Structures are given as structure tokens and as C-alpha cells.
Copies of this chain bind each other. A is one copy, B any other.
């Protein structure tokens, strides 16, 4: 109920009488008042006078109320070890497609390949539980489409040209703005769930300790609305996931690709593949043309763009 009230106050954008709210929501005025109290407790600044209620401001927090339409599926945590761990637990217990775990900071944020991910306050940290109907072999595409979804959300909201680095980083001017971490549980035939983790440097001061990283607030010179961006990213991922089987997903990735046409060096296990990144295949693997002219299909690994 409190979320419907919140949506209504946002929609009106003006002071609304308790009576009007109670009528529109089909609840008592006492219920309206209780919901206002709950929202206030959560940090929403709602002015209440005899003429009614007015939403003055929303807290800069990734609360369920910031994801209109699926508030019930959003689990917000102020601090967490890792949103991936929480989401995994929820998914194993049957959490539905679109369940979202958000956090203001992570104490044990993880990146790909068991690396840690610096997760101070001001960033966007969230994991989306998805249940796409695809075979496990097709799932690596979800990496690609998630990176594209983030790049496109950043572009459309902030006018910044973002690019994707194979397999799943989002770069601006060659520096890392966002990392994607996807984990999957599957039978070989069918994916049970794919959890997509997003760690995005939004309003974060990047220190000299991370020379290859960049944040939105640094790029723009001002803080961004994390709530709008987080919502746009989630919607953008879910939208693309509907066509995960389509080749459009791959084509869109190619459009955003920073990697293609570049010399790359990819560490896979004990070996490294070096050459020109020329394309991705249907499964999201990178095709690399080595100096001896042979083609390699690289399904996973740590990719470095080379400038030599």
C-alpha cells in the first residue's frame, strides 16, 4: 500500500489531501497516515499539513519504492557482504524472475574471477535474479546483453558514450565504470537462474589506487541520481533478456564493443591468447585472429586491450 501511495504522490507532484488519497487508494485515512509514517521512517520527506501530503524529496537510497511496479521484489540492504550472496540464497529458495537485491555498500563485493570489488557508499550495487528459458550454453550471452544494457542506460540518462569490453565490463574513455558479474545454476538443458550483479561507480571518488577506474560523478562534475539510473539499468536488462535468443543481442553488443578491432591479450587458465579481436560468435565467445593467421575461439578469460 505504501508504495501505491508513493507512486500517487509522485504522479501528482503536488499536495494531495488525505481524503483524495484515501479515495483513490480505497483505504481509510488512518491507513494513508500510517503509510506516510512508514515512508517517512524509510527516509522519504513527506510534508503533511491540514491541506494534505506532499512528497518533498526521496532519500538517495535504492529503496524498493524507487522501482515502481515491482517494489515487492526488491530487497534493499544498507550494508551487505555481497548482493550476489543474498540473491543466490533468494534464488535457491525460488525467488521469481526480476527479484532485485540492492545495497548502499558492500563489505565483501566480488568481481569476476574471485577478485574483490571496491564498493563504497555512492556506488550502485545490485543483483538481479533472472530465470530466462535458455540452455546453459546460451547463457554467456547474458553477460553481453547486461553490459550493453548498462552502457545504453548510462548513455541515455547521462549522455556519456560508454563502451563494452569483452566479456562484461563497461568502459568510458577506456576506463572501467561498471563491472558485471553473472552466476548461474543450471541443468545442461535449462537454466535454473542467472543472477546478474552490477557494480557501478556512480557517485564515488576514485582514488589513485584504481588508476583504470572512473566514476560518473568524476566524469560529470556532479552527483547523479542513482535511483533513476539503477531503475533504468534493471529495466534495460530485463527488456533485452526477452530476446536473448535473438541475434540482435549480439549485433547490439558489436555496436557497443570497445574490444573488436583491437589487439587483445586474453589470459585463459595457464595460457594467453594474443591477436586481433575480430568478432564474437553465437555463444558470446570472442574470435581472435593470431599473428600466424589462425583463428581462436575464446570462451572465457581475462582480456587486456593492447596498444602496441
10 nearest A-B pairs in the assembled complex, by CB-CB distance: A135-B300, A135-B299, A189-B300, A182-B188, A143-B188, A137-B140, A137-B283, A183-B187, A137-B299, A185-B185
Q: Which B residues lie within 8 Å of A300 (CB)?
A: 135-137, 188-190
A188 interface neighbour in B133, B184, B187, B190, Cβ under 8 Å = B184
Q: Which B residues lie within 8 Å of A260 (CB)?
A: none
11 contacts between A and B (CB under 8 A): A112-B187, A112-B189, A136-B137, A136-B139, A136-B186, A137-B140, A140-B188, A167-B189, A168-B188, A183-B186, A183-B187
Nearest CB of B to A114, in Å? 9
- A138 CB within 8 Å of chain B: yes
A137 interface neighbour in B133, B137, B269, Cβ under 8 Å = B137
- A282 CB within 8 Å of chain B: yes
- A178 CB within 8 Å of chain B: no
Q: How far is the CA of A142 from the CA of B301 in the complex (A)?
A: 20
- A113 CB within 8 Å of chain B: yes
- A181 CB within 8 Å of chain B: yes
Q: What is the number of residues of chain A that contact chain B, defined by CB distance less than 8 Å? A: 33
- Chain A window 163-175, contacts with chain B (Cβ cutoff 8 Å), 1 for yes, 0 for no: 0000110000000
Q: Which B residues lie within 8 Å of A186 (CB)?
A: 136, 183-186
Q: How far is the CA of A188 from the CA of B299 in the complex (A)?
A: 9
Q: How far is the CA of A300 from the CA of B191 in the complex (A)?
A: 11
A135 interface neighbour in B133, B140, B188, Cβ under 8 Å = B140
Q: Which B residues lie within 8 Å of A181 (CB)?
A: 187
Q: Which B residues lie within 8 Å of A187 (CB)?
A: 112-113, 181-184
Q: Which B residues lie within 8 Å of A142 (CB)?
A: 188
- Chain A window 266-307, contacts with chain B (Cβ cutoff 8 Å), 1 for yes, 0 for no: 000100000000000011110000000000010111000000
Copies in the complex: 2
Give A298's nearest chain B residue, CB to CB: B135
| Chain A contacts with B in 181-205, Cβ cutoff 8 A | 181-190
Q: How far is the CA of A140 from the CA of B134 in the complex (A)?
A: 13
Q: Which B residues lie within 8 Å of A189 (CB)?
A: 112-113, 167, 300-301
Q: Which B residues lie within 8 Å of A301 (CB)?
A: 189
- Once A188-B143, A300-B190 are accepted as A-B contacts, the answer to whether A269 and B133 lie under 8 Å apart by CB is yes
Apart from the given pairs A137-B299, A185-B185, A185-B186, 14 other A-B contacts in the complex at a CB distance below 8 Å: A136-B139, A137-B137, A137-B139, A137-B140, A137-B300, A142-B188, A182-B187, A182-B188, A183-B185, A184-B184, A184-B186, A189-B300, A282-B297, A283-B283
Q: Which B residues lie within 8 Å of A113 (CB)?
A: 187, 189-190
- Chain A window 207-229, contacts with chain B (Cβ cutoff 8 Å), 1 for yes, 0 for no: 00000000000000000000000
| Chain A contacts with B in 124-147, Cβ cutoff 8 A | 133-140, 142-143
| Chain A contacts with B in 94-149, Cβ cutoff 8 A | 112-113, 133-140, 142-143
- Chain A window 231-249, contacts with chain B (Cβ cutoff 8 Å), 1 for yes, 0 for no: 0000000000000000000
